[in-house]
Chain A
Amino acid sequence: MDILMQVSSGFFLLIGSFLCLTGGLGILRFPDFYTRMHAVGVTDTLATAMILIGLILYNPDFMVDVKLMVILLMTIFISPTASHALANAARYDELSIQKDSKSDSELTSSNL
């Protein structure tokens, strides 16, 4: 049982790290603000949730598990709201969607 918990927690931690890395890669490579938000909004929350589940499985202590579960619940509430707030603010400021792929300097001079 012990080895099963360790292997599964390692699995979750690896998945979480991989998701974090690909989210960061998405920020760098996508051309537009909205596509970048799309890349990072989902993967960031899911990566944090996976890492927290991995930590919960790793810990036998009950009090630590309760605290980690509270953090997990809060993250599931707060992180998508933050992504929504960013995208909503961009939409309110009428940040334009790029039609074709151009360089980044176009984007920084045209917004806000």
Chain B
Amino acid sequence: MVVAFAIVRMKDLLAVVMLLGIYSLLSASFFVAMDAVDVAFTEASVGAGISTLLMLVVISMTGRSEQPSRHKPLLALAVVTVTGSLLIYATLDMPYFGSAEAPIHQHVAPRYINASMQEIGVPNIVTSVLASYRAFDTFGEVVVIFTAGMGVLALLSVVRRSDSTLNNDIFDHSMHEQHLILRIVTKMMIPYILLFAFYVQFHGDFGPGGGFQAGVIFAAAIFLYTMLFGMSTARRVINQSFIQMLAATGVLLYGSVGVVSLLNGKEFFDYSALSADPIAGQHLGILLIELGVGITVASVMIIIFFNFVGRRNNPLRKENQGF
């Protein structure tokens, strides 16, 4: 609450971004305290990691302080206060937190918890619910992420000059001494970060993890490389069209698992149609769709970051005209 209040009142946007990171970290520790470790993992990696970074890139373009607001929105404040107090009044009627008669514990949840090990055989119930029982909802999430990436591409993609100018400043030696220590340590660390991303991806069946967190960590390693070695070098390493194709491939992989189940005579996303043994079919199905999720999330994050930073180096901007 204190952090949220400070975020609203402060005018210095850099401090606001840092406070948002702190808020995300505090939320993640809340989730750990409530035993929801997968959600805490995702919140920590996305909120305290990637969002802070993207906001910082935006602030470096727009300026550091907030414009003073010219009018006092009293009507909006009154509407929000009335709505908020109505909502709080409504929660007084809800069952106590964690009580056994609450409807959330009655209908579907006991079946998931009791039957997950026999039907799917995966120790992490969050993964089994997300990837098998509710695979259709997760499909919607992946499509939303893909649409966000497409929206960023449609709005922000910059027409770049021809490749001849890109070849001139590939290895930016002038910055080498200044960032020497950072570059050396980053070169040592990036393989381990990528390895950790793969570990989180494929270990999601047994512990906290899964496709979303793994994609975010993978993208974070690429961001680190881009920040320290320059945009042109990063574009040579990661081709823009390849990444766009990868983003589409992830969603396609996810959808085709469902379609294969349809073609084999079962329902959409019924993984027991994928192999002779239903449990093996479930494992294969979960593996494939988590892979699709991880690929899409990583590619979309990289697309968003490249477009933000590429916008910053846009030759059409007034500040960059002197090149």
Contacts of B182 in A (CB 8 A): 81, 84-85, 88
B181 lies within 8 A of A74 (CB): no
In the assembled complex, the CB of A30 is this many whole angstroms from the nearest CB of chain B, namely 19
Q: How distant is the Cα of A46 from the Cα of B188 in the complex, in angstroms?
A: 21
Q: How distant is the Cα of A81 from the Cα of B181 in the complex, in angstroms?
A: 8
In the assembled complex, the CB of B146 is this many whole angstroms from the nearest CB of chain A, namely 32
In the assembled complex, the CB of A34 is this many whole angstroms from the nearest CB of chain B, namely 17
Q: How distant is the Cα of A109 from the Cα of B188 in the complex, in angstroms?
A: 38
Residue interface bits B111-150, CB-to-A below 8 A is 1, else 0:
0000000000000000000000000000000000000000
Q: How distant is the Cα of A84 from the Cα of B179 in the complex, in angstroms?
A: 10
B171 at interface (Cβ–Cβ under 8 A)? no
B85 at interface (Cβ–Cβ under 8 A)? no
Q: How distant is the Cα of A92 from the Cα of B189 in the complex, in angstroms?
A: 24
A77 lies within 8 A of B189 (CB): yes
B185 at interface (Cβ–Cβ under 8 A)? yes
Partner of A78 from the list B64, B178, B179, B189 (CB cut-off 8 Å) is: B189
Partner of B185 from the list A81, A88, A92, A112 (CB cut-off 8 Å) is: A81
| Least CB separation from B186: chain A residue | A81
B30 at interface (Cβ–Cβ under 8 A)? no
CB within 8 Å of A: which B169-186 residues: 178-179, 181-182, 185
Contacts of A85 in B (CB 8 A): 182
Q: How distant is the Cα of A77 from the Cα of B188 in the complex, in angstroms?
A: 9
Contacts of A81 in B (CB 8 A): 181-182, 185
CB within 8 Å of B: which A47-96 residues: 74, 77-78, 81, 84-85, 88, 92
Residues of chain A whose beta carbon lies under 8 Å from any beta carbon of chain B = 74, 77-78, 81, 84-85, 88, 92, 112
Question: Besides A77-B185, A77-B189, A88-B182, 9 other CB < 8 A contacts?
Answer: A74-B189, A74-B192, A81-B181, A81-B182, A81-B185, A88-B179, A88-B181, A92-B178, A112-B64
14 contacts between A and B (CB under 8 A): A74-B189, A77-B185, A77-B189, A78-B185, A78-B189, A81-B181, A81-B185, A84-B181, A85-B182, A88-B179, A88-B181, A88-B182, A92-B178, A112-B64
